[in-house]
Chains A and B, each alone.
Chain A
Amino acid sequence: MMTERVLVLAASDREALGGVRAVPGLQAAEAAGEVWLRGLPAAGELPLAVRALPAAAAYTLDGQGRLFPAGSRTPTAQLPALSWQPIRAFMPLELPTAALPAQGAPRYRVRLVPSDRAEGGAALLTTLAVWREYAETAPAIRLESLRFAVAADQRVLLLGTPLPPIPGQEHWLREGLLLPAGFDFEAPLLALLLARQLNANADALLLFAADGSWERISKADLVPVTRSAVRLTMEGFRDE
């Protein structure tokens, strides 16, 4: 009595088995360059996906493990002892290789645009020469509420209020970002995202220019203003 049908495929056609992963009870094994399939009903029409397989041979299996070629009453072989696996284990799912070249995350150019919002100034970007000239004679009370940092190119960033009345680019503070006065992000929600992305530890200030470029200034580099600190900083540059 026939128990089931068995199909044999060339191992090179293994990929075709992807179409029959959903057929219930199907088992597969591979040996000697061939893929064997079993678990198909002995009678009746096979599912379309099975019929579409590029089978090299099709057999009917009897209870003794003998293989009968389709339409033949004479067995031609014995079912080999194979390591059978459920079809889903035999053909695990794999992520397909992208058919198109990989794409990076879309890039967004940070743009600052003129804004009609009037915000109080929180910082002033000026030069060391201008700053020193002011600090030489400024009332102490106007200095002691400020902190400053000097860049190698002698730009000076001053923070605090009130800011000194000297020439420079005033900035306003938003989420730890210093934006030029009169400017805001083209997409205002960007401020929070940028702050999280670029200054996750909140240990720095990001100084933006009107063209959208920015530089990171560590809070540790901002020192309290004293007249001596300004004078000694200036001397340090003269010695270089």
Chain B
Amino acid sequence: MLLTAFLHDILTTGAVTLAGQPSPFEPTDLHAAEASLRAYHAEDALELPQVAPAFDAPAALWATQFLYHTVQLALLRELDERVIGQCLKDFAGEITPEAIYSADLTFRYLPDLLRLAKGLAPGDALVTRLLAVAQQWPLSFVGTALDATEAEAEAVVLAHPALRPAYIDRIIQMKDRARAGQPHLAPLVQAALGGHAATLWPDFAAFTILA
């Protein structure tokens, strides 16, 4: 029950236990992890504005395994690009609002891991892979550098009535100036801050004018 225990640990204590080598997870483990993710989705949805997208089990499970392997690869530095390619595959399904939100339940921890990996070895294959994933899952990677290829993935987020405000909330929370300064995002951030921008994000006006 490696994945289930990992999930429990990361959602409760933040201190995780991993296997020494990447290996597939048992079906019973995946089943139990899915149940945990479903419960976590229901709990987390209460914090989302409007009505949260429904639970997408394949996306949630894929993202959890992705996170698990990323932690492994960040620690086991001897593993090469081939192993990274095998363990950190793209999501096979369609990237819908449901998939985005369900994957985000665990993907939201990836930016911290990316910063850690960058600190260890800025140019290694794991960092490159995570930066590529960041472009596909913009909701989870607020605070990470933008790329032009993100526009399509971001459009799905911005089109959803619950994910759009959640995305803007994160931009404000992370003080992501690069995103907040984007012409299509700045008005949304401004609307969220309302007449209190000077208090809630004191330099928001300065960098959006410069942008």
Contacts and interface: CB of A to CB of B under 8 A. Distances in A.
A227 B49 contact: yes
A142 B48 CA distance: 14
14 contacts: A136-B50, A137-B49, A137-B50, A138-B49, A139-B168, A139-B169, A139-B192, A140-B173, A141-B172, A141-B193, A142-B192, A162-B199, A165-B194, A231-B46
Contact of A140 (B43, B172, B199): B172
- Judged by DSSP, the binding face of A is helix
Contact of A141 (B48, B49, B169): B169
Name the interface size band of chain A: 10 to 19
Interface in A121-180: 136-142, 161-162, 165
A184 B101 CA distance: 50
Contacts of A226: 47
Given A162-B196, A162-B199, A165-B194, A141 B173 contact: yes
A227 B47 contact: yes
A232 interface: yes
A228 B165 CA distance: 16
A232 B194 contact: no
A191 to B, nearest CB: 27
B5 to A, nearest CB: 26
A140 to B, nearest CB: 4
Given A162-B196, A165-B194, A139 B172 contact: yes
Contacts of B192: 139, 141-142
Contacts of A232: 46
B118 to A, nearest CB: 27
Nearest to A230: B46
Contacts of B49: 136-138, 227
B169 A140 contact: yes
Interface string B92-123: 00000000000000000000000000000000
A136 B165 CA distance: 11
